[in-house]
Amino acid sequence: MLRKRIFIGGIVQAVGFRPFVYNLALKNGLCGFVLNSGRGVIIEAQGPAAAVQKFIAQILQNPPALSRIESVKTQNIALKRENSFIIKTSRRAGAAQTAVPPDIAICKDCQKDIADKNNRRYRYPFTNCTNCGPRFTIIKDLPYDRAQSTMKPFKMCPACRAEFENPQDRRFHAQPSCCAACGPRVWFVCGGKNIGGIEEAAAKIKQGKIIAIKSLGGFHLACDALNKAAVARLRARKNRPHKPLALMFGDIREIKKYCRVNAEEERLLKSAAAPAVMLKKRRDIALISDGLYTFGVMLPYTPMHKVLFDILGRGGALRGGHGPLVMTSGNISGRPICIDNQEALDDLGGIADGFLLHNRKIHNRIDDSVLFELGGKTHFLRRARGYAPAHIKLSSPLKKPALALGANLASSFCLGKGDKLFPSQYIGDLDNAGNILYFKETVKKMQRLLNIRPQIYLRDAHPGYYAAAYKPHAQKVLHHLAHALAVAAEHDLRRGFLCFAFDGAGLGADNTIWGAEFLEIGRGKWRRAGCLKPVRIFGGESATKDIWKCGLSYLLAAGFNDAQIKNILRPADTAAALCAARGNINCYTYSGAGRLFDAAAAILGLCAQTTYQAQGAMLLESAAARGASKACYEFALEEKGGLISVDTAPLIRGLAADRRRPAEAAAKFHNTLARIILAVALKLRAREVALCGGVFQNKILLARAQALLAAAGIKVYTNNILPAGDGAIAAGQLYAKYAGFV
């Protein structure tokens, strides 16, 4: 006989770990207990030595699907007089911390429950179990118990309580478990009146109305995606003329009617995180993502979405099967996604015709995650629901708890303590009061939830970013170094590597705008090995929207005369701009990549003015998807004083010559950039290369660069946990501190 205390750390709460341990203990005939602490799960198991060993082995071999065991410690302790194994009530965490589980999409069993007329949870929109349901969005504090979540006001009915207390039941200790008799309820508000529930909302959607739906991490705005008038109205009311809209399909078969889906993409769509996945179009739907070759697509991930699609499908459907719904974030521009009923009624009143509301509070605001798949790996455009606040594990602990504030666009922050980095969810652009409030609110909530009191602050070097006002004395980390180190953090890269950090813009060490950087990263040291040759961009901030000004700038740099430029960029009125640009008025020096993509899109006539971020680059990528060319344009690799510079003027001249065949030209543009990356990597004799920065959210460029590098025997690292864009900056800043770069 012996008794062991077993301590297990990682994602072990709210994933069915305790009942799993309990059932294993019963099977092995052990006594003792299992307990959630703020630090992880504590088990004491007593019995014959062989049985205890077997019990531990079984825990490690086959833990619950959603758990992630990161540490195990065991010790022998004195025997106790016991004759049963029990699940003890939670112990309040001390100065400890553990992981907070992300939200989990509705599981197959719960889907069956709500589809079964004879089940007591038939069409109940808050059905969940130990294997699925809300987590992060409803958790206020650790350890995770119903009383510390927004389920607290709902007192379990006897039937739910019986399931909750029965270790053999799927809902054993499922904290948010409930039913129609005891749980939250939904209602539908239209014209200021409460007129029913999901049935009535579905009827309005069929009539072409726009409905605000309180989902898991915030509100959605939904309408029939196949109803062009409805989508046009949504776009007009949301003041969003072109930005792609996310779609939700009833099931995978429906998705396959409109999109190409490979096995890995299907797995992601159906995964517990249930993100929006960027898929290649098979059949287009007007006004959803015009000009682009992809749709952002997700499956219903809450029981409420499921019930809604169930009702829509049954009643004869939205044209044919039950077609897709637009499912876009419920916010007005410059404001975060709404989470509160009154907030939604106020903010979205001018957009939505009806409101599907419920009375379970959303504690943590979070958008849908958006990603694409390449070569079996995930590439995030936005890391949020289903992923945040999962952590990145470091191989050794940080010296002090820290908070890194990230960058300004598509921002997120990152908390660090012990051997863990906790990147926050996507928050949005910090150029407006609404998102700044969201940022501050989330910093507060996450510090409390994870019990971290930062002693060190880190921020971008850019003086105009919000972080500079929020924590002016924070230690500064250079933007592109942070990009590089975010990759290092994910892959625990200790050795040196060459990083291609390509993005729109970031403040460089020489106070010019960088963004197509070749950085040699060593141990605590780094060097700018080169960049794309700087170009003078005319138009200041306005050039990111009036992207014809980027076209003009690059054409000027490539030696075109005024008449040629006027001809290429028609119908933009270039006369005054040319005059100013030649006089170096309102110009800045730029060595980035983002404006180069904008210039190419403008030169090829794909877009002169943008209405959303990266529109030029996305249209260019989509044009490249239609082009078959394997050819390249010329480029010139120069070296001066140990600094490589790549002149893109020949590339621009090639684009201008090919502009009547934009698809072929766009394909050649992408091929050329991939070639440039390979040429620089070979020149610098790199063996390991990191590709990061927002430019690598371009799947075609990423795929081509990866393929060329791999063929040359070079190992490629990318961001697969964090987005390649500025959403990774905060984690990179923290890693800079951790690895001694600042």
**By CB under 5 A, residue 695 contacts Zn ion:** no
User: Out of Fe ion, Zn ion, none, which partner does residue 503 contact, by CB within 5 to 8 A per kind?
Assistant: Fe ion
User: Out of Zn ion, Fe ion, none, which partner does residue 521 contact, by CB within 5 to 8 A per kind?
Assistant: none
Cβ proximity to Zn ion: between 60 and 162 the closer is 162
The residue type found at 110 is C
Q: How far is CA 415 from CA 216, 402, 446, in A?
A: 24, 6, 8
Q: How far is CA 726 from CA 227, 383, 409, 427, 429, in A?
A: 35, 11, 7, 11, 10
Cβ proximity to Fe ion: between 353 and 503 the closer is 503
CB of 483 to Fe ion, least distance (A): 6
Q: Give the pair of three-digit tokens for residue 600.
A: 């190419």
Say how many CA atoms lie within 13 Å of 412 toward its Cβ.
31
**What is the 3-state secondary structure of 14-80?**
CCCHHHHHHHHHHHCCCEEEEEEECCEEEEEEEECHHHHHHHHHHHHHCCCCCCEEEEEEEEEECCC
User: Out of Zn ion, Fe ion, none, which partner does residue 726 contact, by CB within 5 to 8 A per kind?
Assistant: Fe ion
**By CB under 5 A, residue 157 contacts Zn ion:** yes
Q: Give the pair of three-digit tokens for residue 342.
A: 């009154």
CA proximity to 213, closest of 383, 292, 328, 68: 328
Count of chain residues binding Zn ion (CB under 5 A):
10
Q: Which helix (H) or strand (E) holds 527?
A: strand 526-532
**By CB under 5 A, residue 636 contacts Zn ion:** no
Cβ proximity to Zn ion: between 23 and 58 the closer is 23
Cβ proximity to Zn ion: between 167 and 650 the closer is 167
Binding region for Zn ion (CB under 5 A) out of 1-9, 159-167, 261-269, 317-325: 159-167
CB of 501 to Fe ion, least distance (A): 7
Q: Give the pair of three-digit tokens for residue 347.
A: 């903010």
Cβ proximity to Zn ion: between 49 and 65 the closer is 65
Cβ proximity to Zn ion: between 132 and 484 the closer is 132
Cβ proximity to Zn ion: between 305 and 704 the closer is 305
CB of 217 to Fe ion, least distance (A): 25
Task: Give helix 303-314 / helix 198-206 axis angle, nearest 10°.
Answer: 50
| Binder among 60, 77, 181, 636 for Zn ion (CB under 5 A) | 181
The residue type found at 150 is T
User: Out of Zn ion, Fe ion, none, which partner does residue 608 contact, by CB within 5 to 8 A per kind?
Assistant: none
Binding region for Zn ion (CB under 5 A) out of 53-61, 178-186, 614-622, 726-734: 178-186
CA proximity to 518, closest of 730, 713, 678: 678
CB of 528 to Fe ion, least distance (A): 15
Residues 110-129 that bind Zn ion (CB under 5 A): 110, 129
The binding site for Fe ion (CB under 5 A) comprises 503, 506, 726
Cβ proximity to Zn ion: between 160 and 614 the closer is 160
User: Out of Zn ion, Fe ion, none, which partner does residue 682 contact, by CB within 5 to 8 A per kind?
Assistant: none
Q: Which residues contact 646 (CB under 8 A, 6 or more apart)?
A: 530, 531, 532, 533, 635, 636, 637, 638, 676, 679, 680
CB of 71 to Zn ion, least distance (A): 28
**86 beta partners:** 33
| Binder among 160, 255, 326, 714 for Zn ion (CB under 5 A) | 160
CA proximity to 282, closest of 297, 260, 298, 313: 260
Cβ proximity to Zn ion: between 79 and 181 the closer is 181
**What is the 3-state secondary structure of 4-24?**
EEEEEEEECCCCCHHHHHHHH
The residue type found at 112 is K
| Binder among 182, 580, 703, 707 for Zn ion (CB under 5 A) | 182
Q: What are phi and psi of 300, to 5 degrees?
A: -55, 130
Cβ proximity to Zn ion: between 105 and 680 the closer is 105
User: Out of Fe ion, Zn ion, none, which partner does residue 162 contact, by CB within 5 to 8 A per kind?
Assistant: none
Residues 94-113 that bind Zn ion (CB under 5 A): 107, 110
Most distant CA pair in the chain, distance: 94
CB of 693 to Fe ion, least distance (A): 5
Q: Which residues contact 561 (CB under 8 A, 6 or more apart)?
A: none
User: Out of Zn ion, Fe ion, none, which partner does residue 678 contact, by CB within 5 to 8 A per kind?
Assistant: none
Would you tell me which residues interact with Zn ion (CB under 5 A)? 107, 110, 129, 131-132, 157, 160, 179, 181-182
